Structure 1
Amino acid sequence: MTVLGSLALVVALVGVMRRDPRWIAVALGFGAGIPASAGVSLGGFSAPVFTCVALVAGCAWSLDRTRVANSAAVTLLVAFVVWSIAVTGLGPWAFRGIPVLLPRLGIDHQVGAASQLAYSISNLAQVLYLVAALAAVLFLVRSGLATRALWIAAWTGTALSAFRGALRAVGVDVLSPVFDTLQISYSSAGDTRLRGVFSEPSELAAFSLAVAALAITTALTSTGRHRAGALVLAGLATVDLLASASGTAVAASAIVVLAMVVVLVLRYVGTGGRGTPWLVLGTIGVAVAVLAAGDRLLDPVLGIIEAKVGSQSFDSRTAADAIGLGVLRDTLGFGAGLGSNRSSSFAVSLLATVGLPGVILFGAVIAVLVVVAFRNRSTVPALVGLLALLVAKSIATPDLSTPLLWVSMAACAVAVERRRGSTPSAPALVARPAPGRTGRPLTVGR
């Protein structure tokens, strides 16, 4: 067991023993903020911190008598997980031998000579990650603590990545033995781009973009210290995003910014022009900043684009997505199963692994979350962050097991549960009085 894994599991187990779900939510948020760090490492197998804590959360959820979560979003999510497990169990047998890109062998080494589909340890690992993620969602939705876990994850990943970047700047990165503990390939030491506590710069870029969207939306919809804290987090996330110098950051940021501008214009028109002075001042401020930055802002962006287009990485990722679509065709639309193929983008990865049925179920989950969470002011920031993360993942981060994805969905699903009246006014676990004492059980607040 690693240092980070021991710390997170101790916090989670304290929550179980004290019947206080807040401790477990803190541990889940911490694990979601360090997705590339192992909690347990045995021989050639290692499990992320988030997965280890999620299994504890699942046990706590299963022991709770009020554990039922009966919203459409949760039901569809369970159906998606069931289908994913089924196709993972049958896919490598039914379509054995078709060309795939096995996750453990890397994309660059296989695009020229694809591997053949067969059962592997990756199938079992991805199923474990998926079940653990579902357990985390069920626990966070039922306890009503998903938003807390989301903010802890955002601060953990953002602050630690910025701190590690500062250490690298002075040539004293001593945190590698602590954070780089999974049995995966981390970006090379010679890469000058920041990856923080993630496996590669594109992962940091996707995380930072989602956090920035979450924080900016929170700042726009809150006041006082909540707004101040959100602005600080947005600033740190932006610094991490720029330091990642990733093509994912450039492409995804452009899409998200364009979408936010469209929403702002539609809201402006829908409110009959209310807030015109602020809109004008904001537009002038952005224009002045862009003009003042000039080439210092444009040159790095153009440099990233020029370095990416036509590079081996770009060609490999394009070929990987083409092979992924070929897997979808060869499996007649059913998919090859989780862990059977690794594409470059999230959308193609879903199509290749869980097929059209899985994509339809997952899309239905997101659609329900969007419709309901958008109507609840308190969950709009989480929804914006989730959509920003999906945009970034659709460009260059294919993993379904990304912890921030599941915690964000849980934060949006809380709104669905509240709308149906199934989320309790207090967390599902309660702290009971010690033997021999009198009085009511002490309900643990959020």
Structure 2
Amino acid sequence: MPLTAMGLIFWPLSFLFFFRKDPQRLLELTLIGGVLQAAAVLVMGGLGLQPAMAPGMLFIAFMGLQLMLGVTFPAAGRVLKFCTPLLIAFSWALVGSIILPRLFEGVVLVWPQKLDDVATRVPLAPTRGNMTQDCYLVLDLVMFVMTIFFLTRREADPRRLYNAYLVGAALACVVGFWEMAHRLVGSIPFPKELLYSNPGWAVLDTQMSGPVPRINATFTEPSACATFLIGTLYSTVWCALRGYGNWATRVMIFLCTLCLLMTTSTTGYVAMIIGLALLIVYAILSRERRLFRRLMMFIAGGVLCMGVTTLALAAFAPDVIKAAAEVMLETQDKKQSASYEERTQKDADSYQLAFDTYGLGTGWGSDRSSSLLPGFLATIGVVGVLMLVVWNGSLFLKIYRTIKGAAGERSLDAWMIEATFTALLGRTVATLISGPVLGTMDFYVLLAMLVSALIRLQTRAGKQVRA
């Protein structure tokens, strides 16, 4: 099990915070490491352990030791009750990964997790992919629950966690700009061995969009980079419009937008349009004049900046305008590309699997689609998807009631609810467009931040009502 260069950074820091009894720092390091998805801190055969897992596993170990030593978490019962629908959905996925591949073995054809050796569908059978995906699922679930336990304690500081999330996004943007400079000017060195050290992923870092290089920063491909940045962009724009943001938030809006444009990812562009449409619809339906006014000023400022930039480039660098036009044309023509047809075929095959297995699915980790919904239907089936719909519906309802009940309150918890919800919404929208998985550890830390803020705000509101 060779240790990578990235591991020489993350493991010492993780153990340092562990022995200093600082779980807050471990969570912050997990969020920062979440952007380094193409790297590995430890290589085991053909699999690489992602950087976020080093501090994440030590955080789980720390919290587990506290539970064994008798440390109590007053909100534990309420947390488990709140998350019951999600826990049931996870249990269904784990049980299905054992039963369903054997129940439908050889009956249907699936797309395997690894397409390096076989670039076609194979008969369904229990594989190592079921076990590895189950391990990731259990690890993410335990991380989610333990993070909520910790964040419901007084010493936890969710503001620092959100700042760590923004630091990770800034790191991804800086690496993206560095990669673009390296691709355009070959003499500028770029640490590929450090950032792309995970042998379990195929890193697509040589793609072009017309004459313009496509960047993927610290991620495996441009669309994965765009998916992460969309979440950050949704969150920072919303915080700025709601008055929660500061100068760092506004800087992140600019950096994320610029880096997102450099990925030339259709997923990112479509998710940006969807986000803008959702903002306009919400501003109209909510009838919040201040929000609508800020949104109009934001849109006007964006249009003005684009116009000034276009005029300046047309006057001093016309070649850039031509290259941008070629990129836009190529983006519009992606529906005629072979890769688009391949992704569409994978999704169609995954939808068909849901019918062929009578809505039960093929088992978690058995099939790999191109988008999230067909992947869920093909693996956990209609039953699992309905459980997730119930969980998300109850979560949205609690968010709406909590925010409505705390209308006008400018508390830290209200900020965290809105900031983390929009970040998760952006990443989910992008993954629904083009993304097979949603199960990175930093995603579940953000989800735990959202749930813990909801529980704290509801608890405080209940005490005020009783008083």
TM-score after normalising by structure 2: 0.81
Query: Contact 2:241–2:294 at 8 Å: present in 1 too?
Result: no
Query: Contact 1:351–1:359 at 8 Å: present in 2 too?
Result: yes
The answer to whether structure 1 residue 95 and structure 2 residue 101 are counterparts is: no
**In the TM superposition, what are the counterparts of 1:186-197 in structure 2 within 5 Å?**
186-191=203-208, 192-197=213-218
Give the superposition deviation at 1:117: 1.1
**Structure 2 residue matching 1:63: 3-state secondary structure:** helix
**Structure 2 residue matching 1:46: 3-state secondary structure:** strand
C-alpha distance 141-315 of structure 1, shift in aligned 2 (>3 A): same
**In the TM superposition, what are the counterparts of 1:38-437 in structure 2 within 5 Å?**
38-64=40-66, 65-67=71-73, 68=76, 70-71=78-79, 72-97=81-106, 98-105=108-115, 109-110=119-120, 114-144=121-151, 148-169=160-181, 170-171=185-186, 172-182=188-198, 183-191=200-208, 192-222=213-243, 226-267=245-286, 269=287, 271=288, 273=289, 278=294, 281-282=297-298, 284-289=300-305, 293=310, 299=325, 302-374=328-400, 375=403, 377-378=414-415, 379-421=417-459
**Structure 1 unpaired stretches of 5+:** 423-446
Q: Which residue of 2 aligns with 1:5?
A: 7
**Structure 1 residue matching 2:41: 3-state secondary structure:** strand
Kindly tell me the number of residue pairs found equivalent between the two proteins.
Answer: 414
- The CA distance in 2 between the partners of 1:369 and 1:121, in whole Å, is 33
**Structure 2 unpaired stretches of 5+:** 315-320, 404-412, 461-467
After superposing the two structures, state which structure 1 stretch, 55-64 or 146-155, moved more. 146-155
Query: Contact 1:347–1:394 at 8 Å: present in 2 too?
Result: yes
Q: Per-residue CA shift, 1:207-266, capped at 9, x if unaligned? A: 01111111122223346xx51011111211111111110111121111111111111222
C-alpha distance 360-222 of structure 1, shift in aligned 2 (>3 A): same
Query: Contact 2:27–2:55 at 8 Å: present in 1 too?
Result: no
- The CA distance in 1 between the partners of 2:291 and 2:432, in whole Å, is 34
**Structure 2 residue matching 1:3: 3-state secondary structure:** coil
Q: Per-residue CA shift, 1:354-397, capped at 9, x if unaligned? A: 11222122223323333334516221021111111111000111
Q: Per-residue CA shift, 1:102-143, capped at 9, x if unaligned? A: 010169932xxx211112222111111111111221222122
Q: Per-residue CA shift, 1:150-192, capped at 9, x if unaligned? A: 5423422442343343244133343111111222111152542
C-alpha distance 25-338 of structure 1, shift in aligned 2 (>3 A): same
Query: Contact 1:54–1:133 at 8 Å: present in 2 too?
Result: no
- The CA distance in 2 between the partners of 1:387 and 1:308, in whole Å, is 25
Give the superposition deviation at 1:415: 2.0
Query: Contact 1:369–1:412 at 8 Å: present in 2 too?
Result: no
Give the superposition deviation at 1:281: 4.4
Query: Contact 2:367–2:378 at 8 Å: present in 1 too?
Result: yes
Give the superposition deviation at 1:15: 2.9
**Structure 1 residue matching 2:114: 3-state secondary structure:** helix
C-alpha distance 27-276 of structure 1, shift in aligned 2 (>3 A): closer
Q: Percent identical across equivalent pairs?
A: 22
Give the superposition deviation at 1:40: 1.5
- The CA distance in 2 between the partners of 1:353 and 1:107, in whole Å, is 22
Give the superposition deviation at 1:200: 0.3
Q: Per-residue CA shift, 1:45-102, capped at 9, x if unaligned? A: 2221223332222222222332525334422222222211111111211111211000
Give the superposition deviation at 1:284: 4.2
After superposing the two structures, state which structure 1 stretch, 308-317 or 132-141, moved more. 132-141
Name the aligned partner's letter for residue 197 of structure 2: T
Query: Contact 1:160–1:196 at 8 Å: present in 2 too?
Result: yes
Q: Which has the higher contact order (CA 8 A, sep 6+)?
A: 1
Q: Which residue of 2 aligns with 1:34?
A: 36
C-alpha distance 290-252 of structure 1, shift in aligned 2 (>3 A): same
Q: Per-residue CA shift, 1:22-59, capped at 9, x if unaligned? A: 12112211221212221210222222122333222222
- The CA distance in 1 between the partners of 2:83 and 2:25, in whole Å, is 23
- The CA distance in 1 between the partners of 2:364 and 2:390, in whole Å, is 19
Instruction: Give RMSD over aligned pairs.
Output: 2.7
Give the superposition deviation at 1:314: 0.7
Query: Contact 1:212–1:234 at 8 Å: present in 2 too?
Result: yes
After superposing the two structures, state which structure 1 stretch, 82-91 or 9-18, moved more. 9-18
C-alpha distance 398-140 of structure 1, shift in aligned 2 (>3 A): same
**Structure 2 residue matching 1:317: 3-state secondary structure:** helix
- The CA distance in 2 between the partners of 1:203 and 1:281, in whole Å, is 30
Name the aligned partner's letter for residue 72 of structure 2: T
Give the superposition deviation at 1:279: 5.7
Query: Contact 2:205–2:215 at 8 Å: present in 1 too?
Result: no
- The CA distance in 2 between the partners of 1:127 and 1:237, in whole Å, is 33
Query: Contact 1:159–1:236 at 8 Å: present in 2 too?
Result: no
After superposing the two structures, state which structure 1 stretch, 20-29 or 185-194, moved more. 185-194
**Structure 1 residue matching 2:34: 3-state secondary structure:** helix
